[in-house]
Amino acid sequence: MPITQQQLQQILPNAGRQAGVFVPALNTAMNRYAIVGTPRAAAFIAQVGHESGQLLYVREIWGPTAQQAGYEGRADLGNTVKRDGSKYRGRGLIQITGRANYAACAEALGLDLINTPELLELPQNAAMSAAWFWSTNGLNTLADASDFVKITRRINGGVNGLEDRLALWERAKKVLA
């Protein structure tokens, strides 16, 4: 069953009008990647809610911080060209990061993200890239098992923001039940 704008606003109260902008894009993306049913949908909405500041940010805010400066030249991210770190900063609702991830996402979604990384900032692409990442990393299986901490580690590389993510997950499970 598709998520409604009202449900999305209940789960992500700070989203405001962005909930209406993103609900059709999220429903399309979640349907395409089988992120359906309460366990999967609740975990997905909670994670994208945290990663995007409740749908307010589809591009990583750039300082650069010390961590962001560390993106430069990182072979594991495919950042091999000068300024790749900034060019391929986190974008989309799950913050796809790095030239290699942009290239894989581009191939999967049929977008030219290498030359136009800003395409991930459009609502439909921001949602679809998040659902693609979710599916590619086997997160439906983890959601079915309620392994929310492992989902967080796969998305974030650690457990940054775990308290907020867990609070959003609990709210999402109640709203979507």
Which residue segment(s) compose the domain that 33 sits in? Answer: 5-56+123-176
- Active-site residue 60, yes or no? no
Strand partners, 96: 91
DSSP string, 10-33: HH-GGGTTHHHHHHHHHHHHHHHT
Kindly state whether residues 111 and 130 are assigned to the same domain: no
Q: What is the CATH number of the domain that holds 97?
A: 3.30.20
Q: Report which of 115, 150, 127 is spatially closest to residue 35, judged by C-alpha positions.
A: 127
CA atoms of 131 and 49, how far apart (whole Å): 13
Residue with tokens 């890239």: 129
Q: Domain for residue 90, yes or no?
A: yes
Domain assignment present for residue 132? The answer is yes
In a domain, residue 168? The reply is yes
Report the CATH number at residue 153.
1.10.530.10
Among 51, 60, 118, 121, which one carries the catalytic annotation? 51
Shared domain check, 158 and 75: no
Residues 152, 108 within the same domain = no
Q: How far apart are CA 74 and CA 17, in angstroms?
A: 37
* Residue 82 near residue 40 (C-beta atoms within 8 A): no
Instruction: From 89, 104, 119, give the residue that closes a domain.
Output: 119
* Average pLDDT per consecutive 10 residues, the chain (177 residues; last block may be shorter): 95 96 98 97 98 96 91 95 95 96 98 98 98 98 98 94 98 97
Q: What domain count does the chain have? A: 2
Tokens of 143: 């959601």
Cα separation, 64 vs 125, whole angstroms: 24
Predicted TM-score (pTM) of the model is 0.95
Same domain as 87, residue 128:
no
Q: Are residues 129 and 113 in the same domain?
A: no
61 within a domain of the structure (yes/no): no
So what's the pLDDT on residue 1? 81
Does 73 share its domain with 96? yes
Residue 137 sits at φ, ψ, to 5 deg, of -100, 15
Give the pLDDT of residue 58: 97
